[in-house]
Amino acid sequence: MSKGIRETHFQFPGQVGFYRGKVRDVYIFADKLAVVASDRISAFDVVLPEPIPYKGQVLNQIAFHFLEATKEVVPNWVLSSPDPNVTIGHRCEPFKVEMVIRGYLAGHAWRTYRSGKRELCGVTLPEGLKENDPLPFPIITPTTKADEGHDEDISKADILGKGIVSPSDYEKLEAYTYALFAEGSKMAKEKGLILVDTKYEFGKRGDQILLIDEIHTPDSSRYFYADGYQERQQRGEAQKQLSKEFVRQWLISNGFQGLEGQQIPEMTPEIIADISGRYIELFENITGKSFVKQSLEDVEDRIKNSIISQI
C-alpha cells in the first residue's frame, strides 16, 4: 500500500499563519482558512507514527458531505472543497470548548460509568445501564479544547462560571448541537446506522456563530449498525460499529492508552491496511457513495495547486 500524506509544508501568497493539528494542516489567510486533511491518525490524543492512506480523503469528503447537508440547519464555515483532501472556509475565532453529545452509553462515557461514577460533565446518569444502551435522552458532555495533550471533561456550570463561553452564546451552542445531532441521527438511520455519539466545534465570525471543523466523520463520531443492534444488546455482545473505537481497542489490547511510559505498538502493513479499509467502509456506508481513491503520486502538488486556485 502506498504511503499516506504525513505532513504538508507550503507557503502561499497572502498567508499569515500556519497551524498543525493532530490530523490537519491549517493554512491561515486574512479572512480564510485552507485546511488540509492529512493521513495522520490520533488516538488517546497521541498522533500515531504511521499515516493511514486515504484517511484524510475519507474525513474531508465525509465532512464536506455533511456540512453541505446540514447548512440549512446550522450555518457553517465552508466556502469550497477544491480537492478531496482540502476544504476552504471562513476564518473564525473558535470557542475553547468542544460540544460532545451522546445518545448511547459507549466509549469514554461507558468507561466512566463502569468505574462506578454516575455523573459525567455535571449530567447524572441513571443506574442499571449496560454498555451501548441508549440513554434516556441525548446528553451534552463538553470538553475543553486542548492545543496539545488531552482534552478534559468540563461541565456547563464550569464553562459559564469560568467565563469560557458567555451564557447567550452557550445557549446557542446547545441548541445547535441538539439540532445537528437530530439531523445526523436521521441521516444515519436512512443508511442503516445509529449515530451513537459525536462532537461539534463552533467559532465566531463577527457576531455570527458558525459550525467549524469536520462533522459526523469516524474521527469525531461513533456509529453502530442498526441491523441486529437489539439482538446484540440482549445477548450482551459487542456492537458492530463504524468508528475509530476499533483503533483505540487495538491500542488498549497492546498495552497503550496514551499514558506516560507506554510504548505505541508496531503498526504493521497489515494493521495500516485494515485501518484504511475500515475508513473507506465507513465512507461508503454513511454517504451511500462509492469511494474513489485519489492517486497518492504527486499529491502535494495537487493539493498546493488546489489551494492556490481558491485564494
Span 76-94, pLDDT tens digits: 999 999 999 999 999 999 9
Question: Within a domain: residue 12?
Answer: no
Give the Cα separation of 277 and 55 in Å (integer). 9
Which helix H or strand E contains 230, and what residues bound it? helix 229-235
Least confident of 146-150, 269-273, 297-301: 146-150
User: Residue 145: pLDDT above 90?
Assistant: no
Question: Within a domain: residue 222?
Answer: yes
Q: Does residue 103 sit in the same domain as residue 168?
A: yes
Residue with the three cell numbers 496539545 = 148
| Mean pLDDT within 109-128 | 96
Give the Cα separation of 177 and 20 in Å (integer). 26
Question: Within a domain: residue 254?
Answer: no
pLDDT at 218: 81
User: Residue 1: pLDDT above 60?
Assistant: no
Q: What is the mean pLDDT of the chain?
A: 94
The CATH number covering residue 189 comes to 3.30.470.20
CA dist 277 → 24, 112, 262, 281, 284 (Å):
20, 30, 27, 6, 11
Q: Does residue 28 sit in the same domain as residue 127?
A: no
Beta strand spans in the chain (E): 17-20, 24-28, 32-37, 42-43, 46-47, 78-83, 86-90, 93-94, 97-104, 119-120, 123-124, 134-140, 143-144, 193-205, 208-212, 221-225, 241-243
Give the Cα separation of 306 and 311 in Å (integer). 9
The more confidently predicted of residues 286 and 159 is 159
Q: Does residue 109 sit in the same domain as residue 202?
A: yes
Q: Does residue 62 sit in the same domain as residue 171?
A: no
* Other beta carbons within 10 Å of 88: 22
pLDDT at 253: 94
Q: Does pTM top 0.85 for this prediction?
A: yes
Q: Does residue 301 sit in the same domain as residue 210?
A: no
Q: Does residue 168 sit in the same domain as residue 299?
A: no
Question: Within a domain: residue 290?
Answer: yes
Q: Does residue 173 sit in the same domain as residue 302?
A: no
Amino acid at 281: E
Residue 41: domain span: 17-92+265-308
| Structural domain count, the chain | 2
Task: At 284, list the grid cell.
Answer: 461508503
Give the Cα separation of 47 and 49 in Å (integer). 7
Q: Does residue 45 sit in the same domain as residue 100?
A: no
User: Residue 95: pLDDT above 90?
Assistant: yes
pLDDT at 148: 56
Question: Within a domain: residue 119?
Answer: yes
User: Residue 158: pLDDT above 80?
Assistant: yes
User: Residue 310: pLDDT above 70?
Assistant: yes
Q: Does residue 108 sit in the same domain as residue 68?
A: no
Question: Within a domain: residue 8?
Answer: no
pLDDT at 150: 62
Task: At 302, list the grid cell.
Answer: 495537487
| Mean pLDDT within 126-155 | 89
pLDDT at 243: 74
* Other beta carbons within 10 Å of 20: 15
Question: Within a domain: residue 191?
Answer: yes
Tell me the per-residue pLDDT of 173-193, one tens digit each, with 9 for 90 and over. Answer: 999 999 999 999 999 999 999
Give the Cα separation of 49 and 256 in Å (integer). 13
